[in-house]
Amino acid sequence: MDLKTLIATRLNDHLDELRSFVDGLTEDQLKDRGPNGRLSLADITLHLAEVQEGFVAMLSQILQEDAPVLSPPLLNNHCTRNFTDADLKPRMKEFDGQRRSLVSLLNALDDHHWKREGAHPEIQHYTVEKCLEEMMRHEESHFYEMYQIFFGANGSE
């Protein structure tokens, strides 16, 4: 499987993966900060939705402009907030719709589009492919955190 197919497939699979962590949980379970006490499942879910918006904005810029100057999303900006279940459900619905549109777009892009570049402040030759790979890997690192919270792992195993 080539990298483009892998990225599109994984980003599509991430929808189900995220839902497997949060669907059906009570508000208290979603607020549980787990063994490290830093972030809750809800915090991470809301962070992933915010970061996805940033990546989609960068992707749109790269595809619509010639060598745009990019402002990458703040991947390490993990703010905790008091939320209600009523806040998370509509946010998940937005995330889901945006992700489905994104995956549909990715499957329609040709090789030329995957190689288009934007001017990233830290990464040379920042292509569509690199942008989406960064998004995919960022999400996967948070899924590991969610796994630790969900299963109560302390990370020392």
Tell me, yes or no, whether 114 lies in a domain: yes
Please tell me the predicted confidence (pLDDT) of residue 83.
67
pTM (predicted TM-score): 0.88
Q: What is the CATH number of the domain that holds 82?
A: 1.20.120.450
Tell me, yes or no, whether 112 lies in a domain: yes
**Is 90 exceeded by the pLDDT of residue 8?**
yes
**Is 70 exceeded by the pLDDT of residue 85?**
no
CA atoms of 117 and 68, how far apart (whole Å): 8
Please tell me the predicted confidence (pLDDT) of residue 28.
87
Average of per-residue pLDDT across 72-79: 76
Average of per-residue pLDDT across 73-77: 76
Tell me, yes or no, whether 78 lies in a domain: yes
The percent helix, strand, coil of the chain (3-state, each to 5) is 65, 5, 30
CA atoms of 130 and 43, how far apart (whole Å): 26
Tell me, yes or no, whether 15 lies in a domain: yes
Tell me, yes or no, whether 157 lies in a domain: no
Number of domains the chain is built from? 1
Helix axes 85-108, 41-64, angle to 10 degrees: 30
Average pLDDT value over all residues in the chain: 88
Domain that holds residue 67: 3-151
Tell me, yes or no, whether 156 lies in a domain: no
Task: State what percent of residues in the chain have pLDDT above 70.
Answer: 91
What's the pLDDT band for 18 if we cut at 50, 70, 90? very high
